[in-house]
Amino acid sequence: MSELPQEMFIPLDRAEKAGLKTETETIAFWSDVWRRFRRNKAGMAGVIIIILFVLLALIGPSLVPYTFNKIDLHSTYIHPGRAHWFGTDLLGRDIWAQLWIGARVSLLIGVVSALSQMVIGTIVGSISGIYGGKVDMIIMRAVDILIAVPFLIWVSLFMLVLKPGIQSIILAFSITEWKGMARLVRGEVLRLKETEYVLASKGMGASTWRLMTKHFFPNLLPVVTVSMTFQVTSAIFGEAFLSYIGLGIQPPLTSWGVLIAAGINEMRYYTYMLFIPAIFISLTMLSLQLIGDSLRDATDPKLRQ
């Protein structure tokens, strides 16, 4: 081994080094995912519905001449019709306007909580997976304890402490719901650590940071994205649950949970108040579920054709 004289090793200059770079952008994978995703009709239907709902959440309230919290005691409980597309409630507030303001609140809570859970979960999970040992044990015990109690109980407890509102709900979801993502990411990191390309990269002296940004994160992205889609659903449901039991969004602000709670109280004579928000929240959950399912299939290398 020591027979090789030092002179045989000549350091490359910068220009030469750049020419030897073999890394390419990893666009191929995502364009392939998109190609496979597009073929799935159910997933595409979900995407179209969600886009439509997001658009309506943005412009819906301004399509009618009423604001969502405008009380009009001369026009209470109007059934859906030309004047009020989706009718009015006990205080004469227009339900169409409330529905789309509620959609803003519900979708915002869903997306932002899912994003922050993803960030926390990915960071905690990768630390746990990369460092292992005591750090890993402590983190995984914490996860076990969080998992032992259903997240709705944790979230309700936090909501008792925090001031009710959108930020608090997002905060409560972020504190309690990163555990699933952390477990998932840890498992993936442990699996990736054993792969040959990571070993090769390590052998060439790559730093932990480089391993993370170059190998772990891009490979984690598919599983994390899929799991995030489902987290959005669970956050939207969680918000509706909290608002239903009175710990979530407080009037005069509204959300789908608030509207459904009102609808259940009034369904005996004013069924539309239950049906309208029920249909929209169910369609949203269904679409997200379909997107998640088809995204999972599209990112699964085993199902690649």
Partner 1 sequence: MARYILNRVLVAILTMFVLATTTFFLLRLVPGDPMAGPKVTPEVKAILRKHYGLDKPLMEQYVVYMGNLLRGDFGWSMAARGNKVNNIIRDAFPASLDLGVRSMIVAIIMGLFFGIVSALHRGKPMDYLTVILVLVGISVPSFVVAGLLQFFFGVYLHILPVARYDNWKSTLMPTFALSLGTMATLARYMRASMLEIVNADYIKTAKAKGLSRLQIVMRHQVRNALFPILTILGPAIAMVLTGSFIIETVFAIPGLGRHYVTAMQNLDYTLVLGLTLFFGFFLIAMNLLVDFAYGLIDPRVRHTRG
Stretch that binds partner 1, among 85-93, 125-133, 157-165, 218-226 (CB under 8 A): 157-165
**What is the total count of residues that contact partner 1 (CB under 8 A)?**
38
Stretch that binds partner 1, among 55-63, 88-96, 156-164, 191-199 (CB under 8 A): 156-164
* Cβ neighbours of residue 90 closer than 8 Å, sequence gap 6 or more: 76, 77, 262, 266
Q: Does 95 bind partner 1 (CB under 8 A)?
A: no
Residue 296 Cβ, how far from partner 1 at the closest point, in Å?
Answer: 11
Could you tell me if 298 and 223 are in contact, meaning their C-beta atoms sit under 8 angstroms apart?
no
Phi, psi of 246 (to 5 degrees): 90, 10
Tokens of 270: 């004013």
Q: Which is nearer to partner 1, 121 or 277 (CB)?
A: 277
Q: Does 152 bind partner 1 (CB under 8 A)?
A: yes
Q: x/- site string to partner 1, residues 31 to 70, per CB under 8 A?
A: ----------------------------------------
Q: Does 285 bind partner 1 (CB under 8 A)?
A: yes
Q: Does 149 bind partner 1 (CB under 8 A)?
A: yes
Residue 270 Cβ, how far from partner 1 at the closest point, in Å?
Answer: 11
- Out of 139, 249, 260, 276, name the contact with partner 1 by CB under 8 A: 260
Stretch that binds partner 1, among 49-57, 78-86, 202-210, 241-249 (CB under 8 A): 241-249
- Out of 58, 71, 153, 303, name the contact with partner 1 by CB under 8 A: 153
Q: Which is nearer to partner 1, 175 or 221 (CB)?
A: 175
Q: Which residues bind partner 1 (CB under 8 A)?
A: 141, 144-145, 148-150, 152-153, 156-158, 160-161, 163, 233, 237, 240-241, 244-247, 260-261, 263-264, 267-268, 271, 274, 278, 281-282, 285-286, 288-290
